Structure 1
Amino acid sequence: MVKGPSLVQWLCIFSAMGSAIGLAACAIGDNADGTTATRDRDRAVEVLQRQAGAPVTLEVNEAGISRVVAMAPRFSLAGHASDPVEAATGFLLDHHDVFQLSAADASSFVATRVDVEPRSDFRHITLQRTFNGIPVFQGAITVHMDPANAVFRAVGDDFYRIAEPTNRQLLTPADAATATVRAFGLPLTPAFAASEGLRTTFTATGALDPLTVEPRIFQVAPGDDRFAYQTTVSWLDDHKQQQYQLTLIDAQDGSSLASYSLVNTFTGRVFTATPGANPTTDTRVVVSFTGDPVASPSGWVDSTRKTRGNNVISATDLDANNTIGANEVQPTADASDAFDFPFSPIQDSSLFREAAVTSAFYLANNWHDRTYALGFTESAGNFQTSNFGRGGAQNDEVQQDVQDGSGLNNANFATPPDGSRPRMQMFLFTINGGVQEDGDFDPTVIYHENTHGLSNRLVGGGATTCLRALQSGGMGEGWSDWVAASFLNDPVIGAYVTGNATVGIRQFSMAASPFTYDDIKNGTLAEVHAVGELWAATLWDVRTALGAATTEQLVVSGMKLTPCNPSMLAARDAILQADVNLTGGANRCAIFGKFAGRHMGTGASSPSDSSTTTIVTSTAVPPECGGGGQVTRTFTSTDVPKAIPDNNATGVRSAIDVAPAGLDVQHVTVSVNITHQARGDLIIQVSAPNGQTATLSNRQGGKQNDFVATNLDITGSFTIGSPATGQWQLFVRDLARRNTGTINSFSLTITSSN
C-alpha cells in the first residue's frame, strides 16, 4: 500500500505583541522549491492574524502542507456571508496563500458536507479539492465556524495540494471494477448496474454488496499525482469473514495504488475460567421501540413490522452470506405490536434467535438516536435509508448480521463512505466456557461496533480511512470502548460475553487503567486495542471530572474538529477547541489536568500518529491552570557511535533535531560519552540552532583517557529565551597525532517556557 507522508509536524505560533506582529516562520525541511511558497504562506498568516486580532496557530506536516489553522481561544475571523458554504468558500479564497494554494486552486474546492450542530449551531463545512471536476483523495479542507459564520479553525487533509497528473485517464469505470476484483483474486464478474453523478455501480454474483467506482486524483508521492478510480468491493473470504476494501486503481494501467480495509474488528481476550458471576435470571424489561421523533421521524420499525427500519435492518446470518434467506430469522411483531420473545441466560444463546435479533435491533437504534442528539446527524454522515431532506447522503442504513455464522468470539463493523451501507457482524462467544453467549445481548459490544461508524464518518471530514495507524487506530478502538461505557455508565467492556465483571474483554477496567502516554513511547502499548485502552481511560478520567452529558458532547464535537490521521494530542486539542465552542472554554483546565495525568500535558508532542520513539511526554498544565509554565524534555542523538578522525581539524559532528516548534532555551544540560586515548588532543563543543557555542573541553586533561559528562550545565553559553527548536550539534576535533577515539553517546536536556 502506498501511504502519504508521515505526520511529522511542526507547530508555528504567530504571536501579537501590542501593535507589532512577531512572526516565527515554520521550518518545513529542505524543500528546494518551497522557499517562496513558505514566505507567501507566512505573510498570509500574518495578514490573517491581524484580521483575527489574536495569535494564530499553524500546524504543517513534513511536506509543508498546512494541516491546522487555528485562532486563539475565544477569537475568530468575522464572517462575511450569511450562507455557511459561501462563508467557508470565501475564507479559503481570501486566504488561499495560508494553504499554499493559488487563487485558481482555491476556486476548485466544492462543498461536500454542510454540518450544523443542532445544539450549539456551530458549522462544519467540508470543502473537497477537485481537478477538472474530479475529487482529490483525502484532499479536503474543513472550515469550522461559529453561529455567525466566523471562522475559528480550518483543518486540511494531507493531499489537497496537487500538481498536473503524471498519467492519462485511459480506463473506463468497468475496467476499474475488473482491475479491483483481479487485485484481490476474486472470482467475480462485474456487470453494469447504474450510473449517477460520478458514481458507477456494478453487480457481481458472489459480492456481498454492489461494487462502486468513482474517479479520483490520488497522490502516490509529492509531485506524482495520478488519475485514479476509487472502488469499493465486499466479499466473504475463505474463512467466511467479511472483507470490505476501498481501493485506488491507476486510471492508465489498472494497477492498485493503495487499498484500505473498511472493517473494524472487535477482538476478545480468552479466559479459560470465569472470574465473575454469570447471570442466572432474565432481567429484560419492556421498552418503547418508537424512537426519538427528531432523530427517527419515521420510527424504528417500517411497514413490514419486522426488525427493519430507516436506521437498521437486523436479521440472523447463520449461512454467513450477508442475505436474509429462507433459513434466517427476522422477527415480526405480534398482534399487540410487541417483539417479545423468550430467553434464558443459562442456555445457549443460539436457542433464542428472535430475542437476539430483537436485542441487537433495539440497541443499534437506541445508539442511533443518542448519537444523533450529540450531532451525528444526516449532514454529519450518519446511517439512514432516508435523510428527510436534512443533508448528507442517504441509502446507508446499518445492515446488522446477528449470530453470523462466519466466526466466533468477535464482532466487526465495516464503514464505507457516506451514502454506502455499513455492515455489522455479530458472533456467538465461547470464551466463558459452557453455554454460548451472544454479543447481541451485550450492549457494550453493539455500542462499541456502532461507534466505529461514528469515528470513521466524523474524523477527517468523513474520509473513513483516517484511523489506520497506531495512535489513530487505537483512538478508533478507544472511542468505541468509551462511548459504550459512557452510555451504560459502566467502565468494563464485554463483561457479559466473557463472564468477567472486573476487566471484561480488556486488560483493565478503564476506571482503573494504569496506562500513560509513556506506554506508547516505550512499546508497552504496541497494538491498536491496547492503545485504545489508554485513550478510553483518559476520556473516562475527563468524564469523571465533567460528567457524562458534557463529556459525551465534547468528545463527539471534538471528532468533527479532528484531522485525518491524528495523534492523541491532535485529538486532545480538538476536544479543547470543542469546549471553547460549547462553553467558552470553561472546562479547559479540568480537561488539561486529566490529559496531563496520563502524560499528555501541555509540553507533550508526537510528530506522527504512527510514531513511538519520537513521542515526548509531559505532565505539565498551562500556567493559567496552575502550571509552572516550564517544561523539561530530553533529546538523544541517533547518529552515534561515530569515529573521531585523528589529527583532523575538520573533526566529526553528531546532531540532534529538537522539536516541536516554538521551544526556547531556559536551561540546558548535556551528557556526553567519548572514549579516546588522550583527551588532551580534543576540542569538544556544543552548538545551538542560532550558532551560539558552549565549549566542554579545549585540549584539557593531558594524556588522560576518555571524556564523560553527565548533565553538565551549559546554560550560561546561550541566550535565555533564544530558540531551542532546530538542530543542535556536538563538534569534536582531534588536533594531535597517534591517538584515536569514538563519540559513543550525546544527549541534551532542555527546559523551555512552553
Structure 2
Amino acid sequence: MVKGPSLVQWLSIFSAMGSAIGLAACAIGDNADGTTATRDRDRAVEVLQRQAGAPVTLEVNEAGISRVVAMAPRFSLAGHASDPVEAATGFLLDHHDVFQLSAADASSFVATRVDVEPRSDFRHITLQRTFNGIPVFQGAITVHMDPANAVFRAVGDDFYRIAEPTNRQLLTPADAATATVRAFGLPLTPAFAASEGLRTTFTATGALDPLTVEPRIFQVAPGDDRFAYQTTVSWLDDHKQQQYQLTLIDAQDGSSLASYSLVNTFTGRVFTATPGANPTTDTRVVVSFTGDPVASPSGWVDSTRKTRGNNVISATDLDANNTIGANEVQPTADASDAFDFPFSPIQDSSLFREAAVTSAFYLANNWHDRTYALGFTESAGNFQTSNFGRGGAQNDEVQQDVQDGSGLNNANFATPPDGSRPRMQMFLFTINGGVQEDGDFDPTVIYHENTHGLSNRLVGGGATTCLRALQSGGMGEGWSDWVAASFLNDPVIGAYVTGNATVGIRQFSMAASPFTYDDIKNGTLAEVHAVGELWAATLWDVRTALGAATTEQLVVSGMKLTPCNPSMLAARDAILQADVNLTGGANRCAIFGKFAGRHMGTGASSPSDSSTTTIVTSTAVPPECGGGGQVTRTFTSTDVPKAIPDNNATGVRSAIDVAPAGLDVQHVTVSVNITHQARGDLIIQVSAPNGQTATLSNRQGGKQNDFVATNLDITGSFTIGSPATGQWQLFVRDLARRNTGTINSFSLTITSSN
C-alpha cells in the first residue's frame, strides 16, 4: 500500500511523542435516534442528483451507512484538475454529506491506491480514512472514474465513519508484536528489524516471514472505536500447516480485538473409486519462459538462471519450513537455457521434482502476465519484487512451495496486504487410489490458488480481509475456480489430481451445475467451496453468452468495483457497472439474463454477505431486457388417471409433451395427486427431456395414505437453461405387496426465458 508523504511525516512526529491522549474527534455523530445524519445524507443525495442531472442510486449497509453511490450517466466533475487523485478527493470534499461525513472528516482521507486500467484508462482511486494520520481499518472509500475523471461510482467500506477512540495509545509496535505471538500461543520472540513509514518489521526464529506491525483505528462496535495495531504473523501449526493471521491488537491493553486468516485453502471431494482414467503419456510441450514484455519487462528468470524471478520464486519445500535449504530442489536451466526435465504420469510425481517446480513456476508466471493484461497491475496491488516505478508496493513476489511436506491432497495461498510476500503451498495428491499426483502439474490448481491473491487484492480496494463470510468467501472460491476454468477453457477443476474428468474436485462441472441462489437460502449450499460452485457456474453462464475475453475483462474489472464484504448481488452489480464502463452497457441484458437464470434477477436481495434465510430470490430481468420477459406456462397430463401396479418395479408413467420448440428451464414446480394405501411403498420421480430426474419421494411416509404435492419446487434437480421442450414423465413404482393406488393428476409449471 502506497502512503502519502504527509502520512509518513506525521507518523515520525507521532512516534516521537509516544502515546497520544485526547486527540480531537473528527467524526460527526447522529442524534439518539440516528435521524439527523440520515436526513442530511438524503438531502445531499438530492443535491448530487440535481447537479448530475441524472439519477443517483444510493445503497446503505445494515447500519444505514452509505455503501455504494452510483451515477448514471457519469457525473462530470467540472472545475477539478485533471489529476485523478485531486478529482477523487475533490468529489469527496464536495459531497461529504452523501457519506454522512463532515468537511473535516472528508479532509482526513488520503489516497493509498491509484489504479489506472491499462486498456480502458478508467481510474480507481482508493481514499483511506485516517484519524490524526492513522488509517482506519476497512475505512476506505474508492472513487471510480472514467478517463476524463468523471465519477460514475463510489464505494465505501463499512467503517469509514469513526468517532474519537475510546482508549489510549499506550503500547509500542514492539508491545503489539509480543501481544500478537502471545494471542496465538506461539513460542516466538520478536526482534526489531526495520521501520519504514507506518510499518515496523520484526524477525523471530520460527516465524515463516517477518512480523509486521502498523497503527490502525479499529471499530469494535458502533461508538467504540479503538487505537489499535494491525499485525501479521505466519507459522507452521502442529500439523505443519501454514497459518497466516492478520490481527488487530488494542493499543492500550494489548488484547486481541479481531483476527483474520489470510490463507485460502484449496479443498476437494475425495472419491474412493476413480471414475475417470489417468493420463498414461507425457504430453508436455516446450514453451518460452521469456514472459510478456509489458507485464514482465525483466523476464521470468533472473540472473541466477534458476526458477526464480521478479514475479515468482519456486522451489520444493520437502522439509516444510518455508526455506530453500540443502535438501530442496530449485532447478537451474541447462547450457541451452532450457528447464527440460523428465516426467512420467504413471509413476509417483515425487520422483520428478525438477519437472514439478518447472511446471509450477511456468504456470504462476503465465497467470501473472495474463491477469496483468486484465488490469492486475502494480498499481492494483499485484505480486512483484520490483514494480518498475509503476506504483503500488513492491517486494511481494509469490513464494511458491512445491511438493510441500506439510500436507497432502490440498493447496493454499496466503495473501497479506500489498507489499508483503504471499505464499503458495502445493501438495501431493493420493486420493485416486493410484500413483501420487501433484497439483503442480495441474493448471487448474495453480490458477485457482493464484486467483485467491487476485480477488483478495482487488475487492474492497485491497483490504485483503473482505471475503470472509458465506457469500463473499464463496465468491472467493468461485472466482478462483472460474478464472482457472476460463483460462483453460475447461469447466472441470482438478481433473488431473482426482482422476475424475467429469466433476474433478467439485460436485458438478460448472457447465452442468444445477445450483441457484435459492440453494444458499435453503441451506443446500452451506460452505464456502459449495457456494463457490454457484458463483463459478453463474460466471460460466455469462462466459458462454459473451465469450472468454470479454467476460474475463468484465470479471476482473468488476472485482475492482466490488465493495468489501460483498453479497453475490453486490458483485453482480459491479460486473454490470464494469460493462457500462467498457462497452457502454452493450452486454447488460445478456449478463442480467444469466444471473436471473440463477435466481439473482432484478428482484433479488440479500441484506449482507452472510445472509441465508433472509435472501430474496428473483428470476426477473429489467424492463429494457424484455421486462420480466420470462414466460411461465402450466402443462397438465391428459393420460390420467392411471392405476399403479402392485409390487411391480416396472411401474407406471404419465407423460406431458411440452411445447412450443425452444423453451428452456429456468424454474420448475410440479403438482401431483396420488391415492395409495401405503405411500411408503412408492418411488415417485419426474424426468426432463434430457433425462435429468427429480425424486419426489423414495419410499417415504410408511403406512400413511396418498401423496399430494402442490407447486413443489424441483428446479434444483435440473440444469438451468437446459431444454424444456419435449416429453416430461412422472414415473411411479410400487415396491411392496398388498397395497394399490392411482395417479389422479400430474401437472408442471415451467418458467422459460423465451
- Scaled to the shorter chain, the TM-score interval is 0.7 to 0.9
**1:211·1:232 contact (CA, 8 Å) conserved in 2?**
yes
**2:42·2:98 contact (CA, 8 Å) conserved in 1?**
yes
Aligned-pair CA distance for 1:277: 1.4
- The C-alpha deviation readout for 1:310-351, integer Å capped at 9, x for no partner, is 000000000000000000000000000000000000000000
* Distance change (3 Å), C-alpha of 1:14 and 1:233: closer
* Distance change (3 Å), C-alpha of 1:745 and 1:532: farther
* Distance change (3 Å), C-alpha of 1:658 and 1:390: farther
* Distance change (3 Å), C-alpha of 1:689 and 1:285: closer
* Distance change (3 Å), C-alpha of 1:244 and 1:732: same
Unaligned runs of 5+ in 2: none
Aligned-pair CA distance for 1:32: 2.7
> C-alpha distance in 1, partners of 2:415/2:74?
35
**2:514·2:719 contact (CA, 8 Å) conserved in 1?**
no
* Distance change (3 Å), C-alpha of 1:709 and 1:57: farther
* Distance change (3 Å), C-alpha of 1:709 and 1:400: closer
**Mean Cα displacement is larger for which, 650-659 or 367-376?**
650-659
> C-alpha distance in 1, partners of 2:26/2:436?
58
> C-alpha distance in 1, partners of 2:688/2:28?
19
**2:92·2:106 contact (CA, 8 Å) conserved in 1?**
yes
**Mean Cα displacement is larger for which, 619-628 or 485-494?**
619-628
**Mean Cα displacement is larger for which, 624-633 or 499-508?**
624-633
* Distance change (3 Å), C-alpha of 1:518 and 1:317: same
* Distance change (3 Å), C-alpha of 1:361 and 1:11: closer
> C-alpha distance in 2, partners of 1:684/1:487?
42
> C-alpha distance in 2, partners of 1:272/1:620?
42
How many residue pairs are counted as aligned between the two chains? 754
**2:25·2:163 contact (CA, 8 Å) conserved in 1?**
no
**1:557·1:575 contact (CA, 8 Å) conserved in 2?**
yes
**1:139·1:160 contact (CA, 8 Å) conserved in 2?**
yes
Secondary structure of residue in 2 paired with 1:155: strand
Aligned-pair CA distance for 1:287: 0.2
* Distance change (3 Å), C-alpha of 1:646 and 1:15: farther
Aligned residue for 2:247?
A: 247
Aligned-pair CA distance for 1:276: 1.0
* Distance change (3 Å), C-alpha of 1:607 and 1:658: farther
**1:121·1:147 contact (CA, 8 Å) conserved in 2?**
yes
**Mean Cα displacement is larger for which, 723-732 or 97-106?**
723-732
**Mean Cα displacement is larger for which, 246-255 or 695-704?**
695-704
Aligned-pair CA distance for 1:274: 1.2
**1:2·1:220 contact (CA, 8 Å) conserved in 2?**
no
- The C-alpha deviation readout for 1:208-264, integer Å capped at 9, x for no partner, is 000000000000000000000000000000000000000000000000000000000
Secondary structure of residue in 2 paired with 1:478: helix
Aligned-pair CA distance for 1:628: 3.6
* Distance change (3 Å), C-alpha of 1:107 and 1:11: closer
**1:647·1:735 contact (CA, 8 Å) conserved in 2?**
yes
Secondary structure of residue in 2 paired with 1:282: coil
Secondary structure of residue in 1 paired with 2:6: coil
Aligned-pair CA distance for 1:81: 1.8
Aligned residue for 1:528?
A: 528
- The C-alpha deviation readout for 1:24-57, integer Å capped at 9, x for no partner, is 9999999734211111111111111011111111
* Distance change (3 Å), C-alpha of 1:456 and 1:746: farther
Secondary structure of residue in 1 paired with 2:541: helix
> C-alpha distance in 2, partners of 1:254/1:9?
26
**Mean Cα displacement is larger for which, 709-718 or 471-480?**
709-718
Normalised by the length of structure 1, the TM-score is 0.81
**1:2·1:258 contact (CA, 8 Å) conserved in 2?**
no
> C-alpha distance in 2, partners of 1:28/1:669?
52
Aligned-pair CA distance for 1:291: 0.1
Aligned-pair CA distance for 1:107: 0.2
Aligned-pair CA distance for 1:577: 0.1
- The C-alpha deviation readout for 1:431-455, integer Å capped at 9, x for no partner, is 1112000000000000000000000
Aligned-pair CA distance for 1:201: 0.3
> C-alpha distance in 1, partners of 2:12/2:646?
42
* Distance change (3 Å), C-alpha of 1:629 and 1:745: same
**2:460·2:562 contact (CA, 8 Å) conserved in 1?**
yes
Aligned residue for 1:66?
A: 66
> C-alpha distance in 1, partners of 2:239/2:510?
33
Aligned-pair CA distance for 1:625: 0.3
**Mean Cα displacement is larger for which, 306-315 or 644-653?**
644-653
Normalised by the length of structure 2, the TM-score is 0.81
Matches within 5 A, 1:635-674: none
Aligned residue for 1:224?
A: 224
> C-alpha distance in 2, partners of 1:725/1:263?
46
The percent of aligned pairs where both chains have the same amino acid is 100
Aligned-pair CA distance for 1:357: 0.1
> C-alpha distance in 1, partners of 2:48/2:413?
42
**1:48·1:95 contact (CA, 8 Å) conserved in 2?**
yes
> C-alpha distance in 2, partners of 1:641/1:702?
23
**1:263·1:412 contact (CA, 8 Å) conserved in 2?**
yes
> C-alpha distance in 2, partners of 1:469/1:725?
39
**1:28·1:62 contact (CA, 8 Å) conserved in 2?**
no
> C-alpha distance in 2, partners of 1:331/1:229?
40
- The C-alpha deviation readout for 1:656-685, integer Å capped at 9, x for no partner, is 999999999999999999999999999999
> C-alpha distance in 2, partners of 1:217/1:527?
31
* Distance change (3 Å), C-alpha of 1:667 and 1:73: farther
Secondary structure of residue in 2 paired with 1:531: helix
**1:51·1:77 contact (CA, 8 Å) conserved in 2?**
no
- The C-alpha deviation readout for 1:169-219, integer Å capped at 9, x for no partner, is 000000000000000000000000000011000000000000000000000
**1:9·1:62 contact (CA, 8 Å) conserved in 2?**
no
**2:176·2:254 contact (CA, 8 Å) conserved in 1?**
yes
Aligned-pair CA distance for 1:709: 19
**1:676·1:742 contact (CA, 8 Å) conserved in 2?**
yes
* Distance change (3 Å), C-alpha of 1:730 and 1:118: same
* Distance change (3 Å), C-alpha of 1:336 and 1:64: same
Aligned-pair CA distance for 1:652: 52
* Distance change (3 Å), C-alpha of 1:73 and 1:648: farther
Matches within 5 A, 1:141-540: 141-540=141-540
* Distance change (3 Å), C-alpha of 1:701 and 1:260: closer
**2:2·2:113 contact (CA, 8 Å) conserved in 1?**
no
Aligned-pair CA distance for 1:80: 2.0
> C-alpha distance in 1, partners of 2:76/2:564?
23
**Mean Cα displacement is larger for which, 211-220 or 50-59?**
50-59
Aligned-pair CA distance for 1:62: 2.3
**2:481·2:493 contact (CA, 8 Å) conserved in 1?**
yes
**1:79·1:149 contact (CA, 8 Å) conserved in 2?**
no
- Which consecutive segments of 4 or more residues in structure 1 shift more than 6 A? 1-31, 629-754
Secondary structure of residue in 2 paired with 1:279: coil
CA-atom RMSD, angstroms? 14.5
> C-alpha distance in 1, partners of 2:135/2:660?
33
**2:643·2:742 contact (CA, 8 Å) conserved in 1?**
yes
**Mean Cα displacement is larger for which, 192-201 or 68-77?**
68-77
* Distance change (3 Å), C-alpha of 1:305 and 1:43: same
Aligned-pair CA distance for 1:165: 0.2
- The C-alpha deviation readout for 1:704-742, integer Å capped at 9, x for no partner, is 999999999999999999999999999999999999999
Aligned-pair CA distance for 1:635: 27
**1:616·1:633 contact (CA, 8 Å) conserved in 2?**
no
Unaligned runs of 5+ in 1: none
* Distance change (3 Å), C-alpha of 1:740 and 1:590: closer
**1:13·1:55 contact (CA, 8 Å) conserved in 2?**
no
**Mean Cα displacement is larger for which, 153-162 or 78-87?**
78-87
- The C-alpha deviation readout for 1:287-327, integer Å capped at 9, x for no partner, is 00000000000000000000000000000000000000000
* Distance change (3 Å), C-alpha of 1:291 and 1:502: same
Aligned residue for 2:22?
A: 22
- The C-alpha deviation readout for 1:481-537, integer Å capped at 9, x for no partner, is 000000000000000000000000000000000000000000000000000000000
**1:5·1:62 contact (CA, 8 Å) conserved in 2?**
no
Aligned-pair CA distance for 1:362: 0.1
Aligned-pair CA distance for 1:72: 2.2
* Distance change (3 Å), C-alpha of 1:125 and 1:746: farther
**2:598·2:720 contact (CA, 8 Å) conserved in 1?**
no
**2:27·2:105 contact (CA, 8 Å) conserved in 1?**
no
* Distance change (3 Å), C-alpha of 1:660 and 1:192: farther
Aligned-pair CA distance for 1:548: 0.2
Aligned-pair CA distance for 1:18: 58
**Mean Cα displacement is larger for which, 688-697 or 208-217?**
688-697
* Distance change (3 Å), C-alpha of 1:605 and 1:549: same
